[in-house]
């Protein structure tokens, strides 16, 4: 690859999906260690690795605004790529959860940065969407990221810091945003033209909202493994089955970092199931949890392998 080609490459905001997946998987392993005999060190390795990658990408993203402002502004105005900018805050919130048990000061710092970024971007982006003038073709599941993912993870993060009542407010914001956006998204998928191959992996995000909502609900409520928690997990499993059915169509995207879109849901779904077991659930979810955990690990391991292949081929960064 020539130096001229390299100069035209930059790190996109969508790369925040990588630490998102790593930290979320680390939290899944932490939940697993609470109910099963699995090594606790795996959780710590994943959380700290994801946290370090998040910090690096955050610095790179800020540097883009200083050194490549035109690229940063173009990304901010892009109807699809802009939504990934909100992930910078969401990952910070997940890092806050991961550090909350042993590193209170670092956890609070990550929470403050993550929440401020998440709320500011969610309000900015949603306000822009309310202004209209948007083509149906630019409506993809990444619309969930700024508000739905942001507020649901905020609910879990603020609860981890000891403020459950504030977490319940954030849960409501995320839950009802999810329901509103999902109706718009499904209408687009049912009635507009098919997603372009490069955008199809974003359908992996579809697994995440109900799974992340289940985790948040279990964190902010005192009801434990009730019917609503079961319903949220059931819907997440349905979404996962639909996405599996679509895999031959999705794989037309080829090898791309966009497959990290699957990682959040792949980690959150087993986390919700394992939290329900910890809350005393011994029924259907307890039967499914080991399989969901294994599937989530295999999925993220496969995505990480794709990423390594792209790095080896010098094709990780977009042109």
CATH of the domain at 8: 1.50.10.150
41-57 in b/e form (b: 16+ CB < 10 A) is ebbbebbbebbebbeeb
Predicted local distance difference test score (pLDDT) of residue 3: 37
**Residue 276 placed within a domain:** yes
Give per-residue pLDDT as tens, 248-303.
999 999 999 999 999 999 999 999 999 999 998 989 999 999 999 999 999 999 99
Residue 199 in domain = yes
Whether 85 is covered by a domain: the verdict is yes
For residues 9-32, average pLDDT:
95
pLDDT at 9 over 80: no
Residue 226 vs residue 171, higher pLDDT:
171
Domain extent, residue 162, equals 3-312
Contacts of 96 (CB under 8 A, 6+ apart): 107, 108, 110, 111, 114, 157, 160, 161
Q: Residue 50 domain-assigned? A: yes
For the entire predicted model, the pTM comes to 0.94
Whether residue 318 lies inside any domain: the answer is no
Residues 88-117: tens digit of each pLDDT: 999 999 999 999 989 999 999 999 999 999
Could you tell me what percent of the chain has a pLDDT over 90?
90
Task: Write out the two tokens for 198.
Answer: 């490069």
* Domains held by the chain: number: 1
pLDDT per position as a tens digit, 299-319: 999 999 999 999 999 999 876
Say if 24 falls within a structural domain: yes
| Spatial separation of the C-alpha atoms in residues 158 and 96, rounded to whole Å | 9
- Any domain includes 21: yes
Q: Does residue 237 lie within any of the structural domains? A: yes
């Amino acid at each position: 690859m020539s130096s001229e080609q390299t100069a035209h490459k930059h790190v996109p905001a969508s790369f925040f999906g990588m630490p998102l997946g790593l930290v979320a998987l680390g939290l899944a392993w932490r939940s697993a260690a609470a109910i099963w005999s699995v090594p606790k060190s795996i959780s710590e390795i994943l959380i700290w690795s994801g946290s370090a990658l998040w910090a690096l990408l955050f610095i790179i993203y800020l540097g883009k605004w200083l050194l490549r402002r035109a690229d940063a502004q173009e990304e901010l105005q892009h109807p699809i790529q802009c939504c990934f900018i909100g992930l910078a805050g969401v990952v910070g919130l997940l890092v806050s959860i991961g550090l909350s048990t042993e590193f209170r000061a670092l956890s609070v710092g990550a929470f403050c940065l993550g929440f401020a970024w998440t709320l500011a971007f969610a309000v900015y982006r949603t306000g822009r969407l309310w202004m209209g003038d948007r083509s149906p073709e630019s409506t993809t599941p990444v619309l969930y990221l700024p508000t739905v993912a942001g507020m649901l993870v905020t609910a879990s993060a603020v609860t981890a810091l000891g403020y459950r009542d504030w977490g319940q407010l954030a849960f409501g914001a995320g839950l009802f945003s999810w329901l509103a956006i999902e109706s718009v998204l499904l209408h687009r998928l049912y009635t507009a033209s098919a997603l372009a191959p490069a955008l199809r992996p974003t359908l992996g995000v579809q697994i995440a909202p109900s799974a992340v909502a289940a985790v948040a609900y279990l964190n902010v409520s005192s009801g434990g493994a009730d019917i609503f928690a079961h319903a949220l997990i059931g819907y997440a499993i349905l979404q996962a089955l639909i996405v599996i059915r679509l895999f031959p169509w999705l794989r037309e995207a080829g090898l791309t970092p966009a497959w990290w879109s699957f990682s959040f849901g792949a980690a959150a779904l087993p986390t919700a199931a394992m939290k329900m077991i910890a809350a005393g659930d011994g029924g259907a979810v307890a039967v499914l949890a080991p399989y969901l955990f294994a599937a989530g690990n295999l999925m993220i391991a496969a995505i990480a392998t794709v990423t390594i292949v792209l790095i080896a081929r010098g094709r990780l960064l977009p042109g």
